[in-house]
Every structure is written in C-alpha cells, then in structure tokens.
DNA sequence: TTGTATGCGTTATCAA
DNA sequence: TTGATAACGCATACAA
C-alpha cells in the first residue's frame, strides 16, 4: 500500500536540518536545543513519520525487544505467564513479541527461530521441550530465560514440581486412597519432576505406581486412562500432570457413568479457570504462573540491561487447592 | 553473549569467494555452481553462520513475515484463530510472529505497534476494538487482514454474528422462554452484531429485550447478571456474547442455588472446550474460528504475494450446538 | 556463472 | 550544539 515510507531524510529536509539531528531529536537523546527539537518533532508528526525499527536496530546493534516463546495457546498456564511478563515489560516500556509452538507437537524450533531471526534482545521461553544441550547452544547466540523449567547455566524461573506432585499425591494418600494412577506428560528434559515425585511418594507408601502417558490434549488423556478404568483393580484416584489431562479423565469418567469425587477422585495441575467452575470443582495444584511470568520479565529486563549479571535460578512453591473432586474412597 | 555475529563477509573470506556469491548461495537463488554452492554452505555451517533477518529485510525492503495480533490469550477463539492461521502460514514456509493486547482492556495499540515496528509484511488482526477509521489509517502503512470483524475496504474474514445471535435467541424462544436476558460485550465498532440481532429477535416476538454489559472477564459477567437474577421478573434464560461470560453467569447461578437448564437456560458463544465438558454441557454458537484462521492465512499470503489483489470480504455461517444448558422453562 | 558498486534507514564517531 | 562520514549486514541491478 504505502508507496514509500517517510524517512528521517525526508523529515530533515522538511525541517531544514541534518539527518542526524533528526535522529537525536526523535530518540530524545541529548544534543539538540529544545526549540529545534520541538520543530523537528512537529514536522515528523506532520509528515507521518514512523521510525523503521529494522534499520534502527541494525545500526544500533542492540535490540530493546523482549521475545516470548510459548509452547501453545491452549494452556492457560502460558496465558498466565504472558500476562505476568507483559506487566513487567510494559512497565519498562519495552516492546514484546511472541512466538508460539505447535500444540501437542514437540516442535518448538520454528517458533524459537523466528524470534531469534527477529533479533530480539532477550528470549523468554515457557514450555520448551528441547533438550538442555540444544538450549545451551542456543544461549550462545541470544540471552535465554527459561520459565517453568530449570536448565543449569541458564536463567531459570520455575515452580518446584517435585513439591507440587508430592502435595497432590500425599493428599490422596491421606484421604485413604491406595490405588492411585498418574497421567503423565510425554517424557522430556526438565519435565520429569511431577512423575518422579508421584512415583517416590507411592513407593515410600509401599504402593505400586501406575502410570499412563498422554500428550497435551484432552482427548489423549481420556483415551489413555480408559483401559485403566475398565481393567481390574481400577484406580480409586487419578493424579494428572495438568488440568487439561484431568478434564480428559473427567470425560472418560462421564462416559462410563462414574461419579467424580465419589467413584473416582481426581487431582489436576495448574488450577485453571475450568478447575474453578462450581460444576467442575477440580482439586488442583496452583503453580502461580502469573507470578512466574512477572519474575521472568524482571530477569529478562535485567539481562538486557546488565548482560553480565549472575545467572538466576529461582524455584517457587506451588499450592494445593482442594476442591470437590477429591474425597475418601468409597467402601 | 555472542561477541559478534558471523557475517556473510566472514563466510566469504573463509570460503574464498565474494560476499554476494555467498548471499546468492545461502538464499538458494540461481547464479552459482552446484559445487561452489555446496562449499559455501558447508563453510557457513562450519562457522555457525545465521542470516541476520534485520539486515536482510532492510535491504530487500520486503518482509516475508506474517504478523498476528490477538486481543488476548485467555479466549480460546483466538487460540483457534492462531492454530488455523499457523497451519496455512507454516505450509507456505513463512515465519509468524505474534503481538497480544491486554486482556479486558481496549488497549490494542501497543500490541499492534510492535508488530508494525517489526515491519511484518502483512498483519492479521483478531479481536481489534479500535474504530474503523483508525484501522483504515493503519492500513495505509501495512496490509491489514481483519479476523472476526468486518471493516469496509479491508480484507475481512468473519463470522455472521447476526445469524449466530438469531439462532441462539430463536432457540430459546422456540423452547418457550419469554424473559430472555442478554449479556453483551462492551460497545465498540464491529461488535454490535450479536446484541442487535438479539434485540431484533425479541422485538419481532413482541418481547422486551433486557441487556446488561460486561467486559471480557468471567467475574464481570457474574456481577453484571446478579441484579437481574435477584430482581423481580428474573429471566428464565440468558444469552451471552461469549462462553467466558456464560461461565460467569453459571457462577452467579451456582452461588444462588439455581440449577442450570432447569431454573435458568443458558446459551454461550464460541463453543469452547469448557462448553463441551459433560459437567457443563453448555449450549453455544460455534463460529468455526479455526477455519477462519485458516482462511485469514490464505488471504494474508495472497496479500503478501499479490498486493494488488481485490479486497476479500468473507462471512461464514456459525452453527448452534445444543446441549444440556437449554430446556423449556419450568412452569 | 562470477564479481562490482550502490542502496536500505538508522545510529555512531568524529570534527567543527 | 551541529554537521559531515562511516558503519550495520545484506540484497540487487549491472557489467565482466
């Protein structure tokens, strides 16, 4: 549409000054008189000038842009991380661009790549499934801040998954459940904590763990848990690696005429909006994702402004929110 | 971290060829022998070269990047739009970057601005609340594709809101409801269709419309509908402008001990995951957001490759999905 | 097929 | 305070 963008040269010509003076004035940098500056700003406005961020960043070889990678848009946790981060970033007046992975797929390279290609100054990544080694390699090209996952050597802001999973499992044990199944996420670097903690809890209670794996979709969880519910020694309680999976288990229960909380107790992870619905009332682990996003934003800004700062490694304590979906097993 | 990026000049020097030959080889453009090309690619790989997209786009002054603006990340509709768009864009091998607004706020300028500053080649916008006039002005700087909203003069891919709202309202009327309330979205350009259709339906049935406004959050809807439920002549049915609002109404019903579908019928809009939960079973209008995203992607690519193509204006027909939340009024 | 010169719109380093 | 000149890293007509 635009035939040609208005450039600084155009503004300079119209204002009767040199280009670099325009640059200085527009940036608010020192080196221009108040009156001249106002005049330049006015003509720039009049001409409809807009800075070309491409050229700007190329020339300054420093990007004051924060990139955020999210695994997918279907999981509220990532929306929370975004909202928290956004708060910090906006307060600093920095632009924020996002890259998104493919839901269900482990393919996060393309999403990360576009962000890197866009030459963001720092990249905050939530829900990356790539191996640690690859991430460390990536970090040589661009400062990386990991969210909800700890990578040794990289800035990491995450929730203590071991603690969360233990709280969930122990809650079920305390209620008297013995046959507790776990719907786990696909195996991958940095995401084994929940499953391991569950297994450890079961072991120390002298019980046999029962694990099925489901990817990040609701239907996958429903299908995965089906055989368990239909088999002998069906579990009286299920602990899911996230709420989406828990909703899938609820689907499976409903289709079998099993009552949530009565026939089978259920615990999710994320404390999503759905979990809070009165009709759902799902016991879930809240990992305070928004607060994590906020912290990640602070770390990112710090990394941008003070590249040499020491690496941040911060884990936070999740909370178990007990609701109607968990009750003692019926006898 | 990286002291200095490896540039084409470095690769050229190491490979013993000229810079521009490297450029040609790396882009896969014609003008280089197979053998030399392989050699160049190999040295580039060896040196760890990565193209600087900034410089590349600045020099070519054509951006093969698609920008997607989403109003917020909490609404599944936008996730659907993204997933659909992503499919098309990925198939074309184009990079996709996102900008996001602030949930609940009408402030979409900053999100749009960063995308424009990033000099994307085409901007797909879903859920923009800015006035038409401002959008038309924006379109002079960058090709704009509107999603879920029609702006005369701009590429628009949207769902027929009038039809959807009519289907919802007529469904309730046919069930025998007379006192039907509507929870509307805040007033704004391009988002009046649902409310107007509701009002028209009520009018032609000889009934008085009853509208309350709530912004895009669940709690706002709960608060807005409260007085209605508590007042005389409380509605026997409520039609909400989206599912999030409907969930809020469900909260309000639950806190009053009213049974969904029995005491009060409820219709949402978006056919979200939550609506499909057996325990929720919310009647809702499906606007096929993913398909809209897919189409918007096609239009965007077309606009990128053939700027002169005629403006696209495509509306699609939404579907009413009837579930347990709607039933005849109890007498 | 390969190389040369020039431009993209800014920022940055110097003198004046 | 201001004004010339050189980067920034890449693309692209054009000539060799």
CB crowding B131-169: b at 16 or more within 10 Å, else e: ebeebeebbeebbbbbbbbbbeebbbbbbbbbbbbbbbb
- The residues of chain B scoring below 50 in pLDDT are 1-3
Residues 3-62 of A with CB under 7 A from strand D: 17-21, 30-33, 36, 55, 58-59, 61
pLDDT of residue B53: 86
> Measured between beta carbons, which residues in chain B are less than 8 angstroms from residue A5?
141
Q: Tell me how close the Cα of A247 comes to any Cα of chain B, in angstroms.
A: 8
Q: Tell me how close the Cα of B55 comes to any Cα of chain A, in angstroms.
A: 6
Indicate the residue of A53, A96, A143 with minimum beta-carbon distance to B1. A143
Ramachandran angles phi, psi of B142, nearest 5°: -155, 140
pLDDT of residue A104: 63
Indicate the residue of B57, B100, B274 with minimum beta-carbon distance to A274. B274
Indicate the residue of B1, B54, B116 with minimum beta-carbon distance to A140. B1
Note whether A250 contacts B79, CB cutoff 8 Å: no
Distance CA B160 to C1' D6 in A = 57
Distance CA A40 to C1' D13 in A = 35
> Measured between beta carbons, which residues in chain A are less than 8 angstroms from residue B307?
1
pLDDT of residue A170: 98
Nucleotides of D under 7 A from a protein CB: 1-5, 7-13
* B319-321/B283-286 β-pairing: antiparallel
Distance CA A53 to C1' C9 in A = 9
Q: In what order do the strands lie in the sheet with B180-184?
A: B210-213, B180-184, B237-240, B265-269, B283-286, B319-321
> Measured between beta carbons, which residues in chain A are less than 8 angstroms from residue B251?
277-278
C-alpha span between A29 and A27 (Å, rounded) = 5
Note whether B97 contacts A97, CB cutoff 8 Å: yes
DSSP state of B144: E
Specify the residue for token string 């509701």.
B198
Per DSSP, the residues of B241-295 read: SSHHHHHHHHHHHHHTTPPBTTTBEEEEES--TGGGSTTT--EEEE--HHHHHHH
- State whether residue B133 is helix, strand or coil: helix
**Which residue's CA lies closest to nucleotide C13 at its C1' atom?**
A20
Provide the number of CB pairs (under 8 Å) joining chain A to chain B. 152
In this predicted model, what pLDDT tens digit does every residue of A14-30 receive, in sequence order?
888 888 888 888 888 87
In this predicted model, what pLDDT tens digit does every residue of A277-303 receive, in sequence order?
999 999 999 999 999 999 999 999 999
Q: Chain A residue with minimal CA distance to B104?
A: A83
Alpha carbon separation from A331 to A180, A262, A312, B253 (Å, rounded): 15, 10, 49, 33
Note whether A113 contacts B95, CB cutoff 8 Å: yes
- The residues of chain A scoring below 50 in pLDDT are 1-3
Asked if A243 contacts A282 with a C-beta cutoff of 8 angstroms, the reply is yes
Q: Which of A189, A175, A163 is nearest to A288 (CA)?
A: A163
> Measured between beta carbons, which residues in chain A are less than 8 angstroms from residue B142?
1-2
pLDDT of residue A190: 72
Distance CA B218 to C1' C3 in A = 65
Indicate the residue of B99, B110, B250 with minimum beta-carbon distance to A279. B250
Which residues partner with A283 through β-bridges? Answer: A267
Specify the residue for token string 């909490």.
B74
Indicate the residue of B50, B82, B254 with minimum beta-carbon distance to A73. B82
Q: Which of A8, A62, A97 has the highest number of chain B CBs within 10 A, making it the mutation to test binding with B?
A: A97
Q: Which of the nucleotides lies closest to A12 (Cα–C1')?
A: D3
pLDDT of residue B4: 63
Specify the residue for token string 């046959």.
A179
C-alpha span between B238 and B261 (Å, rounded) = 10
pLDDT of residue B59: 86
Alpha carbon separation from B213 to A104, A130, B165, B228 (Å, rounded): 36, 45, 16, 12
> Measured between beta carbons, which residues in chain A are less than 8 angstroms from residue B52?
58, 119
C-alpha span between B2 and B152 (Å, rounded) = 48
pLDDT of residue A103: 66
pLDDT of residue B307: 83
> Measured between beta carbons, which residues in chain A are less than 8 angstroms from residue B53?
117-119
Q: Tell me how close the Cα of B204 comes to any Cα of chain A, in angstroms.
A: 35
Specify the residue for token string 């790549």.
A113
Q: Tell me how close the Cα of A90 comes to any Cα of chain B, in angstroms.
A: 9
Distance CA A52 to C1' C3 in A = 31
Note whether A118 contacts B140, CB cutoff 8 Å: no
Q: Which of B47, B48, B39 is nearest to B17 (CA)?
A: B39
Note whether A100 contacts B114, CB cutoff 8 Å: no
Radius of gyration of chain A (CA): 25
C-alpha span between B277 and A274 (Å, rounded) = 9
Q: Tell me how close the Cα of B277 comes to any Cα of chain A, in angstroms.
A: 7
- State whether residue A117 is helix, strand or coil: helix
Distance CA A72 to C1' C13 in A = 45
> Measured between beta carbons, which residues in chain A are less than 8 angstroms from residue B73?
73, 78-79, 82-83
Note whether B117 contacts A95, CB cutoff 8 Å: yes
Q: Which of the nucleotides lies closest to A57 (Cα–C1')?
A: C10
Q: Chain B residue with minimal CA distance to A59?
A: B55
Q: Tell me how close the Cα of A118 comes to any Cα of chain B, in angstroms.
A: 6
Q: What is the pTM of this model?
A: 0.92
């Amino acid at each position: 549409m635009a035939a040609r963008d208005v450039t600084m040269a155009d503004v300079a010509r119209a204002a009767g000054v040199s280009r670099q003076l325009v640059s200085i004035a527009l940036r608010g940098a020192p080196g221009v008189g108040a009156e001249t500056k106002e005049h330049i700003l006015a003509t720039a406005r009049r001409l409809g000038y807009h800075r070309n961020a491409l050229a700007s960043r190329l020339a300054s070889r420093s990007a004051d842009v924060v990139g955020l990678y999210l695994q997918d848009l279907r999981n509220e946790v990532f929306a929370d991380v975004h909202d928290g981060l956004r708060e910090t970033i906006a307060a600093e007046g920095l632009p924020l661009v996002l890259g998104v992975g493919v839901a269900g797929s482990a393919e996060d390279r393309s999403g990360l790549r576009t962000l890197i290609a866009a030459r963001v100054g720092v990249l905050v990544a939530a829900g990356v499934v790539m191996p640690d080694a690859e991430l460390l390699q990536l970090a040589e090209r661009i400062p990386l801040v990991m969210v909800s996952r700890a990578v040794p050597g990289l800035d990491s802001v995450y929730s203590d998954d071991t603690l969360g999973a233990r709280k969930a499992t122990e809650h079920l044990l305390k209620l008297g459940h013995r046959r507790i199944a776990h719907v786990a996420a696909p195996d991958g670097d940095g995401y084994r904590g929940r499953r391991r903690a569950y297994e450890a809890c079961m072991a120390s209670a002298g019980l046999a763990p029962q694990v099925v794996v489901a990817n990040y979709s609701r239907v996958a969880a429903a299908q995965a848990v089906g055989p368990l519910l239909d088999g002998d020694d069906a579990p009286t309680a299920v602990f899911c690696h996230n709420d989406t999976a828990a909703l899938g288990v609820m689907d499976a229960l409903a289709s079998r005429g099993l009552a949530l909380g009565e026939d089978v107790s259920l615990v999710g992870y994320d404390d999503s909006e759905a979990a809070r619905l009165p009709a759902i009332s799902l016991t879930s682990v809240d990992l305070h994702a928004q607060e994590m996003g906020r912290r990640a934003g602070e770390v990112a800004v710090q990394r941008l402004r003070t590249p040499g700062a020491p690496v941040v490694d911060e884990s936070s304590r999740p909370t178990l929110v007990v609701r109607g979906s968990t009750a003692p097993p019926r006898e």
